[in-house]
Amino acid sequence: MDRIRIVGGNELRGVIPISGAKNAALPLMIASLLTDDTLTLENVPHLADVEQLIRILGNHGADISVNGRRERQGESYARTIHFTSRNIVSTTAPYELVSKMRASFWVIGPLLAREGKARVSLPGGCAIGTRPVDLFIEGLTALGADIEIDGGYVNATAPQGGLIGGRYVFPKVSVGATHVMMMAATLANGTTVIGNAAREPEVADLARCLNAMGAKISGHGTSSITIEGVRSLSGARHRVLPDRIETGTYAMAVAMAGGDVILEDTDASLLETALEAIRRAGAEISATNSGIRVVRNGAGIRPVDIVTDPFPGFPTDLQAQFMGLMTKSSGVSHITETIFENRFMHVQELARLGAKISLSGQTAKIDGVNRLKGAPVMATDLRASVSLVIAGLAAEGETMVSRVYHLDRGFERLEEKLTRCGAHVERVSD
């Protein structure tokens, strides 16, 4: 099993290309089930989760071809993938596939809308909270679906004649449920209004793609999305937006290790709240023609308090990384997690490096230390794994991160990108 070895102490200097967003690519790929034409997606990252979803879509009958697997485009390996779901051969998403990645549950929306039925296993994925599917079920029920849970599967059927436009207000913001309800509503009869919808850039990116396919969606990027149902969707060509989580992660890595790095092919507007927190910690961040420049000289890291919130708030997917940064701050900082109830599993691993962190409910108190010392640590989930890398960049000696398959789910060629900027990071195969 692979591990990541880090020897801390080197500043980062150079250019890091930002990949396409995993959290945008996955729903875009699933949207290909809504049409029998070809949906072409550009800038798709090469990640374990993307490969898993390719297998799941193939199970439903999608024909998939990939360009650019070995093609260098600047410093990145962005791929173009063509999805053609001319014939849906199965409306069942089995447990052995869905259990490996939670987002695969989202196929329930397109399958139900296009085929009038879907049988999808209850999802798996990272163990960072229960994340129930009740919001998905309530949203689809508002469109006329008849849904029951039996034997670990969600069985959904549409009324004769298809789904019916409706109005539903989410009791809490859910990115995944917004994705699913929006996709299902594109082929419903009549108009659908989604209240308290997720405002994340990835939701707006999906809406732009669906509109290019012939959908009639407005209000994306706000908390109220309106979808006028159409009879069918066509193919389209769409470029996946930059990964704001990867952008924030590398910005925090520079703030931690020091140096001067250009984050290329990204957009500061996708994560303004997170960038402002990194500025308050002591880094200089500015926009460039090609992306974002992050600089931190020898000055210390200042403590900053944050609270995770839905967009445009501080992203929960950057919480672990920011905690890693705060471990070497010059004072006391607090991080409050409001999205997931079990997302502090990285605390014990950071403590192995010498971090001083205490928990009280959903708030972590971090007493910054002058020194971190390398140690063997274990990744517990996707974002936690990269927080250990960030801490390891500033730790004395060697840090060895095991269970990096979590890392491979969401970060494309991380060790290569950091090494090109002067870090001592390498993948070790047992």
Measured between its terminal Cα atoms, the distance across the chain in Å is 6
User: Is position 102 annotated in a ligand binding site?
Assistant: yes
Strands 259-264 and 38-44: unpaired
User: Is position 133 annotated in a ligand binding site?
Assistant: yes
**CA atoms of 11 and 3, how far apart (whole Å):** 22
User: Is position 131 annotated in a ligand binding site?
Assistant: yes
Tokens describing residue 3:
């591990």
> Residue 220 gets which letter from DSSP?
B
User: Is position 7 annotated in a ligand binding site?
Assistant: no
DSSP for 403-422 reads: -THHHHTT-TTHHHHHHTTT
DSSP for 41-93 reads: EEEE---HHHHHHHHHHHHTT-EEEEE-TT--BTTB--EEEEEE-SS----EE
Strands 332-336 and 306-307: parallel
User: Is position 310 annotated in a ligand binding site?
Assistant: no
Strands 92-93 and 146-150: unpaired
User: Is position 173 annotated in a ligand binding site?
Assistant: yes
- Alpha-carbon dihedral of residues 275, 278, 279, 285, nearest 10 degrees? -60
User: Is position 371 annotated in a ligand binding site?
Assistant: no
User: Is position 172 annotated in a ligand binding site?
Assistant: yes
DSSP for 85-129 reads: -SS----EE-HHHHTT-GGGGGGHHHHHHHHSEEEEEPP----SS
Tokens describing residue 7:
């020897």
The one-letter amino acid code at 235 reads G
- Residue ranges with strand state E in 158-207: 167-169, 191-195
Given 81, 120, 126, 294, the catalytic residue: 126
Identify the CA nearest to 143 among candidates 118, 172, 173, 175.
118
Buried-exposed string 83-116: b where 16+ CB fall within 10 A, e elsewhere: bbbeebeebbbebebbbbbbbbbbbbbbbbbbeb
Q: Is 126 a catalytic residue?
A: yes
User: Is position 134 annotated in a ligand binding site?
Assistant: yes
The annotated binding site for UDP-N-acetyl-alpha-D-glucosamine is made up of: 102, 131-135, 172-175, 317, 339
The annotated binding site for phosphoenolpyruvate is made up of: 22-23
Supply the residues annotated as catalytic.
Answer: 126
The annotated binding site is made up of: 22-23, 102, 131-135, 172-175, 317, 339
